[in-house]
Amino acid sequence: MLVSAAEMLNKAKEGKYAVGQFNINNLEWTKAILQTAQENNSPVILGVSEGAGKYMTGYTTIVGMVEGMIKEMGITVPVALHLDHGSYEHALKVIEAGFSSVMFDGSHYSIEENIEKTKEIIEIAHSKGISVEAEVGSIGGEEDGVVGGGEVADVNECKMIADLGVDMLAAGIGNIHGKYPENWAGLRFDVLEGISNATNPMPLVLHGGTGIPEDMIKKAISLGVSKINVNTECQLSFAAATRKYIEAGKDLEGKGFDPRKLLAPGFEAIKATVKEKMELFGSVNKA
Ligand code: 13P
């Protein structure tokens, strides 16, 4: 059964570790992440962007696939199915479809409008036991073709949104989606500390987990980050392993063209990446 992300994140905040949100793209991604979570006895959040939702033909397909896998694979660790960077309209759609958690990203609105819309989503989601993530200060980089500038969130605005009763809060602290540029200045721990003090005990969310050095991840967790989103890194591992398979000519040997064989190295590569992150985030054996 899918669960809301609230309880697992409150536990993580208290235990000073973080739960990974790993974005899914298809059946292989979903199966690899669920299997790794179960093997490592770790709670997990499956993230779905609007683009990935559309790619997988819609939110009800995803709910069916994830619930089916939980049952068929005997998954017993807590699993939340979460909309990543949702618009108001799509937040309502996933609630209807049976997701257990939703991010409403109103960071591109004025703070007044962000507050108004976040409040409405909280009311609807909470009436169904669904957790809500809000965002203040848009996170830079590219996601689904939308390129953000990478703002640093305002502490007072974070407090205003946190006080609405969201379950987790994403705030821009110099993090960006995708690969970090060579000259990246790193995370703004001064800002994170201020936000953390102002919003405690709200679990904070760190987006753009790909490529953040280990020591920064650990420091962010020590300052109140309880959820870390990883997407690009699984894509890179999958692509590299698939490239290796093809370049070695394995698809031309015997039945190496069979998708179950062709996609197997990429599947294992996703599992290895997810396991590495769960160990780094400290969520192993915290199910
Ligand atoms: P990355 O793709 O940089 O890992 O970011 C993922 C993310 O934050 C999804 O919301």
pLDDT digits 0-9 by tens, 222-279: 999 999 999 999 999 999 999 999 999 999 999 999 999 999 999 999 999 999 999 9
In whole angstroms, how far apart are CA 90 and each of 59, 123, 145, 158, 195?
Answer: 9, 15, 17, 23, 28
Query: What order of strands is seen across the sheet that includes strand 140-143?
Result: 146-148, 140-143, 176-177
Q: How many domains does the chain have?
A: 1
Structure letter (DSSP) for residue 286: -
| 27: in domain | yes
What is the tens place of the pLDDT at every residue in 54-111? Answer: 999 999 999 999 999 999 999 999 999 999 999 999 999 999 999 999 999 998 899 9
Helical ranges in the chain per DSSP H: 6-15, 27-39, 50-55, 59-72, 88-97, 111-126, 155-162, 189-199, 214-222, 232-247, 259-262, 264-281
The protein residue whose alpha carbon is closest to atom 9 in ligand 1 is 229
Determine the distance separating the centroid of ligand 1 and the alpha carbon of 23, expressed in angstroms.
8
Q: What is the mean pLDDT of the chain?
A: 95
Q: Mean pLDDT across the stretch 156-184?
A: 93
The tokens describing 27, both together, are: 């059946």
Which of 19, 90, 142, 210 gets mutated to test ligand 1 (max ligand atoms within 8 A of its CB)?
210
Determine the distance separating the centroid of ligand 1 and the alpha carbon of 52, expressed in angstroms.
13
| 252: in domain | no
| 106: in domain | yes
Type of residue numbered 82: H
Q: What confidence tier does 150 reach under pLDDT thresholds 50, 70, 90? A: low
| 259: in domain | no
The tokens describing 252, both together, are: 């031309």
As a whole-number percent, the residues of the chain with pLDDT over 90 amount to: 90
- Which residues line ligand 1 at a C-beta cut-off of 6 Å? 23, 47, 84-85, 177-178, 207-210, 229-233
Which of 19, 21, 22, 23 gets mutated to test ligand 1 (max ligand atoms within 8 A of its CB)?
23
Smallest Cα–Cα separation from 100: which of 63, 135, 134?
Answer: 63
Q: Is the model more confident about 238 or about 149?
A: 238
* Active-site position among 84, 163, 190, 215: 84
Give the integer Cα–Cα distance in Å for 258 and 260: 5
Q: Structural domain of residue 139, as residue ranges?
A: 6-232
| 285: in domain | no
Determine the distance separating the centroid of ligand 1 and the alpha carbon of 101, expressed in angstroms.
17
| CATH code, domain carrying 39 | 3.20.20.70
| 238: in domain | no
Contact between residue 45 and residue 227 where contact means Cβ atoms under 8 Å apart: yes
Q: What is the pTM of this model?
A: 0.96
Determine the distance separating the centroid of ligand 1 and the alpha carbon of 178, expressed in angstroms.
6
Determine the distance separating the centroid of ligand 1 and the alpha carbon of 229, expressed in angstroms.
5
First to last CA, the chain: 14
Active site residue 144: no
The tokens describing 202, both together, are: 């709200």
Which of 135, 147, 168, 230 gets mutated to test ligand 1 (max ligand atoms within 8 A of its CB)?
230
Contact between residue 189 and residue 223 where contact means Cβ atoms under 8 Å apart: yes
The SS3 assignment for 250 reads: helix
